Amino acid sequence: MSMARKTGGDEETGDRGVSRRTFVGAAGTTAATALAGCSGGDGTPTPTSGGGGGGGDGDDDSTPTADPAAAQRGGTLVAGMQSGLDGRDPHLVQAASTLRVLENIYGKLVEIDQDLKPVGQLATEWSVSDDDLTWTFQLREGVMFHPPESRELTAADVVYSFERLLNEDTGSPWRSNFTPIANVSADGDYTVVFEFDEPYAPFLFKLSSGGYILPEGADDASDYDIADQPVGTGPFVFDENVAQARTNVTAFEDYWGTDGDGNALPYLDEVEFQVIPEGQARLTNLQSGSIDWAVTVPPSQADSLEGSNSITLSNIPGTFYDYVGHNTTNAPLDDVRLRQAISWAISRESIVQGARFGYATPTQDPIPPASVWKDLISVDEPYSQDQARAESLREESDYDGEELTIQVGQQFPAQVNIAEIVQQQLGEVGITATVQPTDFGTMISNLNEGAYDLTIVGWSGFVDPDDMMYLQFHSGETFNQSNYSNEEVDELLEQGRQAAGDREERAAFYDDAIDIIAEEVPYTFLEFNDELAAWRNSVKNFTHISTGTPRFRDVWLEG
């Protein structure tokens, strides 16, 4: 089943509840090499946690080593979100705003840390069989479910959760992440075994997105309805939801997590997620103090926060990138020289400045800047704006002035701006194009049916190269809307998916693939947008992750 994409809406103005940010964990190290707890790549304090591979000795918890002694308990943190809950069952929901709330209610075996690496959450350690076909996870003991279940988490719950995900009747959008699983079984109360027919390198990262654990028998529980009353193992219990207005969650006393000094988490009493779609309004409320934390600050306003002494602006490289999608089978775009001409015509710098006010980094590939794979996978011959070369390529191609349409989601002004910039720059090299804002839902159908020439749209949340490239560029895959097909690229992507070696080995396949893709231009990659969030200085100990997911379990409010 599909994993739809997520476009620019999440960035600035109202996310019309349409966006689907897919969190797909990046593949950690594969089975064989045991990797002792890996400390943070670039010196930021990372949770000591079980790395991938056998014998990982994940110790008790994954809280950053802030000075917990000064932590103050209590208080309600008000978070400004972009849209309300789109649903309450984590297996059925993909919208970014909804997942950011459920992340604080439900638990999962593995989660992503600041370096976009998988770390244990409900799983303390895990190991992989020699033939890479069997993954065994050790569950943390003493993890309690929220009321009304109020009982300890066991392997049976994990098995139930994954069977529910794999069951077609559930109709979960995450199902395609887990279809390779042949069988999941419990081995005693605290061990879960996953069996595969062929190696599945990105499994750890797939678990970290969508692999939420529900109590066994949740669907036919008598005393609550899982669709209305979420019951998870997370730090906060679902309290109340007012459609399109706010969602309240309260602290879970029996939460298993504790801070560095062993005192119970979470510090906060309650978190209120308020729906404020207008970026400007979120900012105003943050400045006036009626909210404490704001998701996606509009880049156009970010400068005004730089100097503020009461608000912290956190600006880290994000996982969301925009690109120009080419319909490679639709004349005249079936001529690769025209597609290359388009790539040479576009100035990524003016897009970063014009549409994102500088809060983005130009890119030639789908690898997020913060990702550990960044320096391993890159395009050897990067594009830049070269109008002369673009024009000569255009003349060589059999393009003779037809008008190309650029379809873009009308709900996402930032991307409409990008489309206008691209249209202007194509015009400068003799390629005439018109911008066609379309309703996002309709546009996605058009892209699927190939009823388009060019499109400006984006992907987000990918951490593992397999997710960045497999479904988009492998022939016939669900998201290959460019109808791009190259045997060599297919071969490389399949090898990457099953590669047993370490990261460098696996990266090599993707590095070769990206060079061919850059050459044949099914996509013109544009820019990775910064992940902007802002909070009042009274909000302490918040860990800002590139995927933008807010975890409030170890956050506390000062004064």
Partner 1 sequence: MGYGAYVLKRVLLIGPILFGVSLISFGALELLPGGPVEAAFGTRANPELVEQLREQYGLNRPFHVRYLDWVGDIVLNQDFGQTIRTERDVSTLLATSLPPTIWLAASGALVSVFIGIPAGIVSAVNHYEPEDYLATFLAFLGLSIPNFFLGLVLILVFSLYVPIFPSSGFVSPLEDPVEGVRTLVLPALTVGTAISAVVMRMMRSSLLEVFSEEYIRTARAKGLTRALVTNKHAVKNALIPTVTVVGLNFGYLLGGVVIVEQIFAIPGIGRLTLTAILTREYRVLQGSLLVIALLFALVNLATDLLYAYLDPRIKYD
Partner 2 sequence: MTETDQSTTDQTTGGGSRPLPGAAAAETARRVFAESRLALLGLVITVGVVIVAAFAPVIAPYDPTAQNIAEAQLLAPSLEHPMGTDQLGRDVLSRVLYGAQLSIQVGVIAVGVAMLAGVPLGLVAGFYGGYTDETVMRAMDVVFSFPAILLAIAMVAILGQSTFNVMLAIGITYTPIFARVTRSGVLSVREETFVDAARAIGDSNASILARDILPNVVAPIIVQATVSLAFAILAESALSFLGLGAPPPAPSWGRMLSDSRNFMESAPWTALFPGLAIMVTILGFNFLGDGLRDTLDPQNDTESGGSI
State the number of CA atoms in the 13 A half-sphere of 462 facing the CB. Answer: 27
* Residue 475 makes contact with partner 1 by CB under 8 A: no
Strand partners for 542: none
Contacted entry of partner 1, partner 2, none for residue 437, CB cut-off 5 to 8 Å set by kind: partner 2
* Residue 439 makes contact with partner 1 by CB under 8 A: yes
- Of 147 and 437, which CB lies nearer to partner 2 in the complex structure? 437
Listed ranges 83-91, 118-126, 184-192, 261-269: which one lies at the site for partner 1 (CB under 8 A):
83-91
**Which residues between 256 and 295 bind partner 1 (CB under 8 A)?**
274-278, 280-281, 284-285, 287-288, 290
* Residue 424 makes contact with partner 2 by CB under 8 A: yes
* Residue 436 makes contact with partner 1 by CB under 8 A: no
CA distance 80 to 282: 6
**Which residues between 302 and 341 bind partner 2 (CB under 8 A)?**
303-304
- Of 263 and 445, which CB lies nearer to partner 1 in the complex structure? 445
Contacted entry of partner 1, partner 2, none for residue 424, CB cut-off 5 to 8 Å set by kind: partner 2
CA dihedral (102, 107, 109, 115) in degrees, to 10, reads 60
How many residues would you count in the chain? Answer: 559
- Residue from 24, 31, 71, 93 touching partner 1 (CB under 8 A): that is 93
- Residue from 51, 52, 84, 120 touching partner 1 (CB under 8 A): that is 84
Q: Using the 8-state DSSP alphabet, how is residue 365 labeled?
A: S
- 354's enclosing H/E stretch is helix 348-356
- Write b or e for each residue in 176-215: b if 16 or more Cβ atoms lie within 10 A of its Cβ, otherwise e: bbbebbeebebeeebebbbebeebbbbbbbbbbbbbbbbb
CA distance 30 to 396: 46
CB 284 → partner 2: shortest distance, Å?
9
- Of 145 and 323, which CB lies nearer to partner 1 in the complex structure? 323
* Residue 300 makes contact with partner 2 by CB under 8 A: yes
* Residue 167 makes contact with partner 1 by CB under 8 A: no
- Of 423 and 547, which CB lies nearer to partner 2 in the complex structure? 423
Interface mask toward partner 2 for 384-423; x: CB under 8 A: --------------------------xx-x--xx-xxx-x
* Residue 280 makes contact with partner 2 by CB under 8 A: yes
- Residue from 6, 7, 10, 18 touching partner 1 (CB under 8 A): that is 18
Query: Count residues contacting partner 2 (CB under 8 A)?
Result: 32
CB 449 → partner 1: shortest distance, Å?
8
Comparing CA positions, the residue from 414, 415, 394 lying closest to residue 406 is: 415
Taking CA atoms, 334 is separated from 320, 338, 391, 454, 485, in Å, by: 27, 8, 17, 12, 12
Give me 470's structure tokens.
Answer: 């497999």
- Residue from 442, 445, 475, 537 touching partner 2 (CB under 8 A): that is 442
Strands, E, within 129-190: which ranges? 134-139, 181-186
CB 304 → partner 2: shortest distance, Å?
6
Cis peptide before 147 (omega within 30 of 0): no
* Residue 483 makes contact with partner 1 by CB under 8 A: no
* Residue 319 makes contact with partner 1 by CB under 8 A: no
Comparing CA positions, the residue from 467, 499, 493, 495 lying closest to residue 201 is: 499
Listed ranges 75-83, 170-178, 230-238, 275-283: which one lies at the site for partner 2 (CB under 8 A):
275-283
- CA-based diameter of the chain, in Å? 71
- Residue from 411, 417, 423, 425 touching partner 1 (CB under 8 A): that is 411
- Residue from 44, 434, 475, 537 touching partner 2 (CB under 8 A): that is 434
State the Cα angle at 439 between 436 and 442, rounded to 5°.
Answer: 100
By the 10 Å C-beta count (0-12 exposed, 13-18 middle, 19+ buried), 32 is classed as: middle
CA distance 297 to 452: 32
CA distance 537 to 531: 19
Comparing CA positions, the residue from 30, 533, 65 lying closest to residue 313 is: 533
Taking CA atoms, 33 is separated from 29, 501, 503, in Å, by: 8, 9, 11
* Residue 361 makes contact with partner 2 by CB under 8 A: no
Strand partners for 404: 433
**Which residues between 189 and 228 bind partner 1 (CB under 8 A)?**
227
* Chain centre distance of CA 479: 16
- Of 140 and 348, which CB lies nearer to partner 2 in the complex structure? 348
- Of 27 and 283, which CB lies nearer to partner 1 in the complex structure? 283
- Of 209 and 287, which CB lies nearer to partner 1 in the complex structure? 287
- Residue from 279, 325, 465, 496 touching partner 2 (CB under 8 A): that is 279
Which residues in this chain contact partner 1 in the complex, by CB under 8 A?
1-2, 4, 14, 16-18, 84, 86-87, 92-93, 168, 171, 227, 242-245, 274-278, 280-281, 284-285, 287-288, 290, 411, 439-442, 444-445, 448-449, 478
Which residues in this chain contact partner 2 in the complex, by CB under 8 A?
12-13, 278-280, 298, 300-301, 303-304, 349-350, 353-355, 410-411, 413, 416-417, 419-421, 423-424, 434-439, 442
